[in-house]
C-alpha cells in the first residue's frame, strides 16, 4: 500500500476531492466539455446547476478515502493499493471557510469512505459541520452523505445539521448489490435508512432534502430496472432528486486508463437523466418509457421522441388549443418554450413556428408534431420520420 508521508491540507484535498468525483452533486451533461468539470481553484470546487438555471460552486470532498467496504465498482474499496489519507474536522472547517468568505463557494458537500464502522465515519463527517454551525455560526448550505448501515442516532444528528442528505442506493435491488458487495445488506443498510430519512426529514422543522444515486452499469442491471426503481423512489419515499453515475472501471491513480466503453456508459447515464427529467418536469410515468429488447434506452434517440414515434395517434397537437400537458409531450418543446406558446397565443393566433421565436434544430423538430391550423402546411411536416 502506498502511504502519503505527512501531506499538507492542500495535498490531501487534491487526493480526496479527486476520489469524491463519483458522488454526484448535480446532473451531468453529455457534452464532453461540460461533463463533471471542476473549477480552476482546485478539484474540490465543484460547479452545480441551481434550480433557477444559474451556476454556483460547492466545496466538495471526502473526509477520508480509507474504507472497510468491498464494493467491486469502487476504486477506494478495501485492499486496493492506493494512497490513503484523511482530513481532520479543523482542516475541513478552515479550508471551507477560506473559500466561503472569498465568495468562491456557497456551500459544503461532505462524504467519506467507511472507516472502521459506519457510525465512526459518520462522527468524522458530522464533526466539521458542528464546528461550522456552532463555533463559526455558519448558516449556509451543507449536504452530508449518510453512509450505509448508519444508526438512527447518527442519521438524526446529520439531518439536524444539514440542508440536504443522501444515501446511495447504488443498484436497483438486492440481487444486483449482492454482485458488488458481500458486506452490505440492501434492505437493512440502504433501504431502511432511506425510509427513516424520509420520515425524519418530513418531521424536521427546517426543510431537509433527500437524494440518492445509482451506479450505472456495474452490476449488469438494465435501464428498465433503474427507471422502475427511480419512479418508485419518487412516489414512495418522496425523494427530491435521483442521480446517476456511470460506472468507470479504471486504475485509481490513472483515471485516463479506461478499460470499458466510457462513451456508451456516459450515454446511458445521460439518457437516464433525461428520463428523470421527464418524470419530474414533464408528467411522464414509468409506463411511458420505451426500451429495446434488452431493457435499455435508445442511444440514438432521446426517450421523449421515442415515445412520440410510438404514439402517432397522439399527434398532431394543436399549438393554439392544446393544454400544457399535451404540448410538453411534443419533441423539441421544452418547459420555457411551452410557457412562451401559452403566453403568445393569448395575444394572437400562432400561425407558424417562426411566431414562437428563433427557429433552431429543436423547434424545427417540433414542427412535424404540431398543428398550426393550416392543413396544407401541416401535410408537409406531419410524421416526416
Q: Which of 274, 332, 323 is nearest to 303 (CA)?
A: 274
Indicate whether 53 belongs to any domain. Answer: yes
At CA 195, angle to CA 193 and CA 200, rounded to 5?
A: 90
What tens digit of pLDDT does each residue of 7-17 get? 788 777 776 66
The string of DSSP codes covering 239-271 is -SEEEEEE---EETTEEEEE-S-HHHHHHHHHH
Three-state secondary-structure class, residue 385: coil
pLDDT at 381: 44
- Listed residues 288, 303, 337: the one ending a domain: 288
Measured CA to CA in angstroms, residue 7 lies from 84, 111, 202, 251 at distances of: 11, 20, 42, 22
Question: Quick one: 220 and 280 in the same domain?
Answer: yes
> Residue 216 in contact with residue 232, Cβ under 8 Å?
no
pLDDT at 354: 87
Q: How many residues comprise the chain?
A: 385
Q: Please name the residue that has the C-alpha cell 459518520.
A: 122
What tens digit of pLDDT does each residue of 191-229 get? 999 999 999 998 877 889 999 999 999 999 999 999 999
Measured CA to CA in angstroms, residue 2 lies from 7, 9, 16, 45, 125 at distances of: 13, 18, 15, 26, 24
Question: Quick one: 284 and 367 in the same domain?
Answer: no
Three-state secondary-structure class, residue 144: strand
Q: Would you give the DSSP letter of residue 110?
A: E
Name the pLDDT band for 262 (thresholds 50, 70, 90).
low
What tens digit of pLDDT does each residue of 143-164 get? 999 999 999 999 999 999 999 9
| 34 has pLDDT over 80 | no
> Residue 247 in contact with residue 73, Cβ under 8 Å?
yes
Cell of 276: 428523470
Indicate whether 321 belongs to any domain. Answer: yes
What tens digit of pLDDT does each residue of 316-345 get? 999 999 999 999 999 999 999 999 999 999
What tens digit of pLDDT does each residue of 164-184 get? 999 999 999 999 999 999 989
Question: Quick one: 345 and 274 in the same domain?
Answer: no
pLDDT at 55: 75
Indicate whether 295 belongs to any domain. Answer: no
pLDDT at 64: 86
Question: Quick one: 185 and 65 in the same domain?
Answer: yes
Indicate whether 294 belongs to any domain. Answer: no
| Mean pLDDT (the chain, rounded) | 84
pLDDT at 115: 83
Q: Which of 180, 272, 185, 189 is nearest to 231 (CA)?
A: 272
pLDDT at 54: 66
Question: Quick one: 330 and 190 in the same domain?
Answer: no
Indicate whether 297 belongs to any domain. Answer: no
Indicate whether 300 belongs to any domain. Answer: no
Q: What is the mean pLDDT of residues 272-299?
A: 96
pLDDT at 19: 56
Distance CA(368)–CA(385), nearest Å, equals 9
Structurally, the chain folds into a number of domains equal to: 2
Q: Whole-prediction pTM value? A: 0.85
The percentage of residues in the chain with a pLDDT greater than 90, rounded to a whole number, is 59
Beta strands in the chain (DSSP E): 45-49, 55-62, 107-111, 141-145, 164-166, 209-216, 241-246, 250-251, 254-258, 317-318, 370-371
**What backbone phi and psi angles, to 5 degrees, belong to 109?**
-125, 115
Distance CA(95)–CA(102), nearest Å, equals 11
Distance CA(95)–CA(301), nearest Å, equals 44
Distance CA(340)–CA(229), nearest Å, equals 34
> Residue 153 in contact with residue 198, Cβ under 8 Å?
no
Indicate whether 320 belongs to any domain. Answer: yes
> Residue 18 in contact with residue 10, Cβ under 8 Å?
no
Q: How many CB atoms lie within 10 A of CB 338?
A: 20
Indicate whether 151 belongs to any domain. Answer: yes
> Residue 297 in contact with residue 271, Cβ under 8 Å?
yes
Measured CA to CA in angstroms, residue 92 lies from 64, 85, 95, 139 at distances of: 11, 13, 5, 16
What tens digit of pLDDT does each residue of 63-96 get? 888 877 877 877 777 677 667 788 899 999 999 9
Question: Quick one: 323 and 267 in the same domain?
Answer: no
Question: Quick one: 132 and 236 in the same domain?
Answer: yes
Distance CA(48)–CA(285), nearest Å, equals 27
> Residue 184 in contact with residue 149, Cβ under 8 Å?
yes
Range of the domain at 165: 9-288
The DSSP H or E segment spanning 335 is helix 335-347
Question: Quick one: 371 and 233 in the same domain?
Answer: no
> Residue 238 in contact with residue 200, Cβ under 8 Å?
no
| 269 has pLDDT over 70 | yes
Q: What CATH number has the domain bearing residue 27?
A: 3.20.20.70
pLDDT at 43: 66
Name the pLDDT band for 382 (thresholds 50, 70, 90).
very low
| 380 has pLDDT over 50 | no
The percentage of residues in the chain with a pLDDT greater than 70, rounded to a whole number, is 81
| 37 has pLDDT over 70 | no
Distance CA(36)–CA(257), nearest Å, equals 17
- Listed residues 224, 254, 288: the one ending a domain: 288
Question: Quick one: 278 and 372 in the same domain?
Answer: no
Question: Quick one: 155 and 260 in the same domain?
Answer: yes
Name the pLDDT band for 18 (thresholds 50, 70, 90).
low
Question: Quick one: 283 and 316 in the same domain?
Answer: no
pLDDT at 49: 65
Question: Quick one: 265 and 343 in the same domain?
Answer: no
Amino acid at each position: 500500500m502506498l502511504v502519503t508521508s505527512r501531506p499538507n491540507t492542500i495535498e490531501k484535498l487534491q487526493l480526496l476531492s479527486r476520489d469524491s468525483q463519483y458522488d454526484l452533486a448535480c446532473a451531468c451533461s453529455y457534452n464532453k466539455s461540460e461533463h463533471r468539470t471542476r473549477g480552476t481553484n482546485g478539484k474540490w470546487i465543484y460547479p452545480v446547476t441551481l434550480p433557477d438555471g444559474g451556476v454556483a460552486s460547492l466545496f466538495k470532498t471526502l473526509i477520508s478515502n480509507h474504507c472497510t467496504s468491498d464494493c467491486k465498482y469502487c476504486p477506494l474499496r478495501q485492499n486496493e493499493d492506493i494512497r490513503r489519507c484523511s482530513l481532520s474536522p479543523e482542516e475541513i472547517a478552515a479550508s471551507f471557510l477560506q473559500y466561503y468568505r472569498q465568495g468562491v463557494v456557497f456551500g459544503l458537500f461532505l462524504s467519506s469512505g467507511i472507516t472502521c464502522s459506519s457510525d465512526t465515519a459518520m462522527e468524522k463527517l458530522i464533526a466539521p459541520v458542528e464546528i461550522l454551525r456552532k463555533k463559526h455560526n455558519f448558516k449556509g448550505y451543507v449536504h452530508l452523505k449518510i453512509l450505509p448501515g448508519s444508526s438512527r442516532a447518527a442519521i438524526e444528528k446529520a439531518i439536524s445539521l444539514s440542508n440536504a442528505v443522501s444515501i446511495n442506493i447504488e443498484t436497483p435491488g438486492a440481487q444486483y448489490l449482492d454482485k458488488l458487495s458481500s458486506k452490505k445488506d440492501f434492505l437493512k443498510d440502504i433501504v431502511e435508512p432511506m425510509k427513516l430519512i424520509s420520515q425524519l426529514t418530513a418531521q424536521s422543522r427546517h426543510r431537509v432534502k433527500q437524494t440518492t444515486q445509482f451506479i450505472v452499469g456495474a452490476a449488469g442491471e438494465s435501464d428498465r430496472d433503474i427507471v422502475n426503481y427511480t419512479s418508485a423512489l419518487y412516489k414512495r419515499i418522496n425523494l427530491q432528486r435521483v442521480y446517476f453515475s456511470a460506472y468507470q472501471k479504471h486504475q485509481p491513480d490513472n483515471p485516463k486508463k479506461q478499460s470499458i466503453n466510457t462513451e456508451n456508459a456516459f450515454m446511458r447515464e445521460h439518457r437516464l437523466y433525461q428520463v428523470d427529467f421527464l418524470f419530474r418536469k414533464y408528467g411522464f410515468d414509468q409506463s411511458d418509457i420505451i426500451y429495446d429488447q434488452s431493457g435499455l434506452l435508445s442511444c440514438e434517440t432521446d426517450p421523449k421522441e421515442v415515445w412520440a414515434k410510438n404514439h402517432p395517434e397522439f399527434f398532431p397537437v394543436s399549438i393554439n388549443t392544446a393544454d400544457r400537458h399535451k404540448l410538453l409531450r411534443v419533441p423539441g418543446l421544452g418547459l420555457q418554450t411551452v410557457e412562451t406558446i401559452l403566453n403568445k397565443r393569448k395575444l394572437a393566433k400562432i400561425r407558424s413556428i417562426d411566431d414562437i421565436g428563433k427557429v433552431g434544430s429543436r423547434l424545427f423538430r417540433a414542427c412535424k408534431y404540431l398543428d398550426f391550423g393550416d392543413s396544407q402546411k401541416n401535410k408537409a411536416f406531419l410524421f416526416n420520420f
